[in-house]
A and B are shown apart, each in its own frame.
Chain A
Amino acid sequence: MQADIQELAKELGLGLDLLGCIQCGKCTGGCPVSITTALNVRFLVYEALVDALPDLGGMEELWDCTCCFTCVERCPKDVRPAELIISLRSQLVESGKIPGTIGDALMSIFRQGNPLGFAREDRAAWAEGLGIKSAREGCEVLWFVGCVPSYDMRSQAVAKAAAKVFQAAGVDFGILGTEETCCGNEVRRVGEMGLFEMLVEEGKPLLESVGAPTMVTTSPHCFNTFKHEYNLEGMEVLHYTQFLARLIEEGKLTFSGKVERVVTYHDPCFLGKQNHVFDEPRAVLQAIPGVKFVEMDRIRERSLCCEGGGGRMWFEGTNTEERLAFQRVHEAAETGAEVLAVACPFCMSMLEDAVKVQGLEDRLKVMDILELVAEAM
């Protein structure tokens, strides 16, 4: 059984190394949901190692994992514990034993190319009248807008801010419009490997056919999978914070206005912990005239997960009382910041909800870095 799981992980293209595990607990010790839920990835690895895994069907906490990959980042033996969870999830997906809301999201991606249940033909509705060209016309920068910024009203404001910023900086960019399809980052992480493979098979040639040397993503999740799992040829993949930092450094992005506010920043796991992009978002924020930048205590490699990744946008989790986002917005408020800056549509959603639930709306506003930049143009 142990050998079966190891073999399955290998077939799925995962680097899980069960036999490397020394059961030190570094993974569970750093797992953001290990205190609030029953999930214990170290113990799961142990059960897998000694062939004692229980029936997974009833193990709801398997879906609590946010795939923040803190365990993978810190494991001294390179075991990649989270990939055991992904492997186990893939078995559950195979047998159809998955939470209904995740099933709905996957079905929506399969049918409409987005997890939110919206129609494919409405994907570019937000961009109407903004003078954004189709990437098909040829462009230097392919902007991958992403599902949430395309459909979610709050995130559409971020997409619009991005368009404004790119235009002001004179970037030759285009979008794929209704042809743009979910990147599949979360699809892979909930274990729906078949659907993910299909998305790559269709997505890779589509993205490469644009012929743009650079792709910029709004979301760190799209950025992550395009960068590491698509094997895109002739195309550099950047998160927008990296792209903006570059524009600022080259003098192409300048500010005429000011944002006179105290701002703190929340590192998205898929940008920070997993891709070590820590400095660029901060450089962009600090370049905005008027911004007084302050840091929280838990930042960079020690940043607290917002709990929105790994399929958690479509699954409430087994503990809805003690959300990490609740804790996070208090940490942000304690710094005296008026704005909690984010760089990820999932973080935006989780943290903005938390601000409301925790009654911090008078003190703290959640804004995307793009919105702050646009405000200072």
Chain B
Amino acid sequence: MASRPRIGVYICHCGTNIAATVDVEAVTEFAKNLPGVVIARHYTYMCSEPGQALIKEDARKLGLNRVVVASCSPRMHEPTFRAASQEGGVNPYQFEMANIREQCSWVHHDRDEATAKAKALVVAAVAKAARLEPLEDREVGVTPGAVVIGGGVAGMVAALDVAEAGFPAYIVEKSDHLGGHVADLNRTFPDLEPVAEWLPGLIERVQSHPNITVFLNAQVARVEGYVGNFEVTVSGSKVSGSGLGEPGTHSLQVGAIIVATGYKVFDPHRKPEFGYGLYPQVITTLEMERRLAEGDLAVDGKEPEHVVFIKCVGSRDKQLGNPYCSRVCCMISAKQAQLVRQALPDTRVTVFYIDVRTFGKRGEEFYDEARRSGVRYRRGNVSEIYRRGDRVVVRVEDTFLRRTLEVEADLVVLAVGMEARQDTDEIATLLKLPRSADGFFLEAHPKLRPVDTAMDGVFLAGCCQGPKDIPDTIAQARAAAASALIPLLRGTVPVISETAVVDPELCAGCGMCVEVCPFGAPALDPLWGVSRVNAVLCKGCGACAVTCPSKAIQVRHFRPDQILAQVDVLVE
């Protein structure tokens, strides 16, 4: 039986954030008389050192076994106050927070009404706190090693960092070679460095690393388990010293997964106005890379007199469902345009653009270099291409001249953007990863958690998360590897305690919880026919608890009696 509640209640002013709108003294006086409350105080900043000290000292001196703080959102300071409670000898799960800032003082003007609402939030929190049970934090062990899906630059760099830290890394590459799209490039911006000078070395380092195993022509077939202990089934061929092995199925036990599946090059057939596929003079930047590598810029055996670049093909286009900027095409165009000027000094080179976005380190300088090399930048989004004799005509408005032009050209290069790969869906389903509206994988937080995903232990690297250039890709790959190394190096992962539990006496084995869970935590026990929840997978979201028709599943810390106690005091 739980001990009789001895509750401490602390009302935070948050400077004037709360105190200006809510009468904190009145709320404190009100809280003092609530059942189980031993002490109620208010203070300028509860999250400050002296604020936390109040909780710790009261808890020890008065023998508190529950703590309620009325302040900001639990997303802000729940961990702070849980820690303070624990230091004062109170179980951290017997702490409850009332949000009187975001949900009260920040959204109301009337002081009396805001104060009444703050009281209501406090009385509900106190009612719940009285019924909270002590829970224990737990940890599980971690299987050393990581699976990296994708053998492009992102995947290789991530695998190398994991391997260098002393853990096994497994690269699962869909094609028959490592290197990804970068292997199709000639030189890279902004230094015009030949890819051949660094990519083969990177591939060699990966292939010869004792901690790295590469699978080619390979796909992830199944993923089971949870952060720290994944079982990844791979179908494909293992590369060994003697070459490519027979295709087969491989089961890999790892603690983390890095997704580095890359992107798809936009297919300009979807922009019929450019006549791509119809006119040999119209090519993509990727095809131009090959031509530049081979030094072959001739069209019909003749040196082109005029080469035109068209930017934003397949990007910044709502109609195609690609509203985003692909971030690399401006620099690729500037690079290729310069290389054409270098190779053919008599050839006129025009870049038609909507905006020039050569951001990033050395980006603007590179744009300067392109213009100084004689590349003409004209502002206008090319609308159409058609044939005139053995040349093509580019129909475009020069928006500065305010005049529509028919520009004849011998070679037109479409700066094609990046799209989410078609198999993004399969990977998303396998790993239960959400995607953003643009189709790419969604990071856990756009600023604070850029390489994490909604699934613990699964990290993102490179263009599968959104278009980026090689430096950004490598930075993100190394960040993903570093994040994956956290559980691997710790050797354990914490498990949240507010998880779902099944009462096997009530469970009818209907399986609705299994269907509704986004994390794959519940499963039907084949022997007993009742649901069991894997506490490591469970995020405590409560979807199962509200779905269960026989109320056999409850989420710890959010049990019906605890929630109903809050509701009851509010409707009284």
A-side interface residues toward B, CB under 8 Å?
A: 20, 22-31, 34-35, 40, 42-43, 70, 74-78, 297-298, 300-302
Which one of B168-176, B229-237, B259-267, B391-399 is at the interface? B391-399
Contact across chains for A297 and B387 when beta carbons are under 8 A apart: yes
Q: Which residues of B contact A74 (CB under 8 A)?
A: 273, 319, 383
Report which of B272, B317, B379, B380 forms a contact with A300, defined as CB distance below 8 A: B272
Point out the residues of chain B lying under 8 angstroms from A298, CB to CB.
Answer: 386
Task: Name the one of B319, B380, B386, B396 contacting A75, with C-beta atoms under 8 angstroms.
Answer: B319
Counting CB contacts under 8 A, is B382 at the interface? Answer: yes
| Ranked 7 nearest A-B pairs via Cβ | A30-B383, A29-B383, A24-B381, A25-B397, A28-B397, A34-B404, A76-B317
Kindly supply a per-residue 1/0 record for chain B positions 292-325, scoring 1 wherever the CB is within 8 Å of any chain A CB and 0 otherwise: 0000000000000000000010001111100000
The answer to whether A29 and B318 touch (CB under 8 A), given A297-B387, A301-B273, A302-B272, is no
B280 CB, nearest partner CB in chain A, Å: 14
B interface list, Cβ under 8 A from A: 272-273, 275, 312, 316-320, 354-355, 379-387, 395-399, 402, 404, 406
For residue A114, give the distance in angstroms from its CB to the closest CB of chain B: 35
- Chain A residues with Cβ below 8 Å from B317 are 76
B399 touching A25, Cβ below 8 Å: yes
Give A302 to B316 CA distance when docked, in angstroms: 21
Min CB–CB distance A66 → chain B (angstroms): 15
Q: Report the minimal beta-carbon distance from A336 to chain B, rounded to whole angstroms.
A: 16
Complex alpha-carbon distance, A29 and B312, angstroms:
15
Chain A residues positioned under 8 Å from B273 (CB to CB):
30, 74, 301-302
* In-complex Cβ contact of B404 among A31, A75, A297 (8 A): A31
In the bound complex, how far is the Cα of B387 from the Cα of A78, in angstroms? 28
Whole-angstrom CA separation of A175 from B544 in the bound complex: 62
A24 CA to B379 CA, complexed, in Å: 8
Q: Flag if B386 contacts A29 (CB, 8 Å).
A: no
Chain A residues with CB under 8 A of B382: 26, 29
Which residue of the partner chain A has the closest CB to B311?
A24
Could you say which residues of chain A place their CB within 8 Å of the CB of B396? 25, 29
In the complex the two chains form, what is the Cα distance from A303 to B378 in whole Å?
Answer: 26
Task: Please tell me which one of the listed residues A20, A25, A43 contacts residue B380 in the complex, with CB atoms under 8 A apart.
Answer: A25
Please name 15 further chain A to chain B contacts, defined as beta carbons within 8 Å, in addition to the given A42-B397, A77-B316, sorted by A numbering: A20-B318, A24-B380, A24-B381, A25-B381, A26-B381, A26-B382, A28-B399, A29-B384, A34-B404, A35-B406, A76-B312, A76-B316, A76-B317, A76-B318, A302-B273
> Contacts of B354 on A, CB cut-off 8 Å?
22, 24
Chain A minimum-CB-distance residue to B394: A29
- Smallest CB separation, B409 vs chain A (Å): 14
- In the bound complex, residues from chain B placing their C-beta under 8 Å from that of A77 are 316, 318
Distance between Cα atoms of A290 and B507 in the complex (Å): 75
Complex Cα spacing A301 to B272, Å: 6
Could you say which residues of chain B place their CB within 8 Å of the CB of A300? 272
B402 and A29 within 8 A (CB): no
Q: Which residues of the partner chain B approach A78 to less than 8 Å between Cβ atoms? A: 318-319
CA distance A58 to B237 in the complex (A): 73
Contact yes or no, A76 B404, CB < 8 A: no
Q: In the complex, which residue of chain A has the Cβ closest to the Cβ of B382?
A: A29
In the complex, what distance in Å separates the CA atom of A30 from the CA atom of B218?
45
CA of A20 to CA of B392, assembled, Å: 31
Complex CA distance for A302 and B354, rounded to whole angstroms: 21
B319, B398, B406, most chain A CB atoms within 10 A? B319
Could you tell me if A302 and B386 are in contact, using CB atoms closer than 8 angstroms?
yes
Contact sample, A vs B, 16 pairs, CB 8 Å cutoff: A24-B354, A25-B379, A25-B397, A28-B397, A28-B404, A29-B395, A30-B383, A31-B404, A40-B404, A76-B318, A76-B319, A76-B381, A297-B387, A298-B386, A302-B272, A302-B384
